[in-house]
Amino acid sequence: MGAPIWIGENKDLWITNGLKDAFCEVLTTVATLEGRNIMTIYEEAAGVAGTYGVSGLGIDLDEFHSYLGGPEGVRRHLDVCRARLSEVAESCGLTPIGAKNVAHVLAWAAHIMDGHSIPEGSNFYEDWPPGMES
């Protein structure tokens, strides 16, 4: 079935439920490494709590604003997550292919947060957003 990552009003980033959960795991694990305690997001944030492991229920990336310093903080955090992905992949239970897929989804989320639309026919697992590479 899959689930979306909501970014503002944009719900175009539909991914598998497992990848959605891995995306959240990476966001929270890297935040912990960066000295932030955002694990309470799974208990407090309506757009995240209760969605972990539930197919069809996406996460609302805006819920991370208060934990990571607003939209700008979330956007920066996506870049930090991509930079530290190889460091946290194993502890997040990611296979090499899973880590590659999360890297792509992080890039697509950043692309949307930068105000860009998703080109028709884009493959979130294989393609990089225009102007962005690995």
Three-class SS of 17-70: HHHHHHHHHHHHHHHHHCCCCCCCHHHHCCCCCCCCCCCCCCEEHHHHHHHHCH
Q: pLDDT band for 76, please (50, 70, 90 cuts).
A: very high
Percent helix / strand / coil, the chain, rounded to 5 = 50, 10, 40
Q: How far is CA 5 from its chain centroid? A: 7
Higher pLDDT, 40 or 134: 40
Per the prediction, the chain carries an average pLDDT of 89
- What per-residue confidence (pLDDT) applies to 54? 74
Residue 99 has pLDDT above 80, yes or no: yes
pLDDT tens per residue across span 46-57: 667 667 777 778
Q: pLDDT band for 134, please (50, 70, 90 cuts).
A: low
Q: Work out the percent of the chain whose per-residue pLDDT is above 90.
A: 54
Residue 123 has pLDDT above 80, yes or no: yes
Q: How far is residue 104's CA from residue 95's CA, in Å, rounded to a whole number?
A: 14
Residues whose CB falls within 8 Å of the CB of residue 66, separated by 6 or more in sequence, listed in order: none
| Average of per-residue pLDDT across 85-108 | 96
Residue type, 64: F
Do the Cβ atoms of 109 and 27 come closer than 8 Å? no
Residue 20 has pLDDT above 70, yes or no: yes
Alpha-carbon torsion (114, 37, 4, 65), positive or negative: negative
- What per-residue confidence (pLDDT) applies to 7? 94
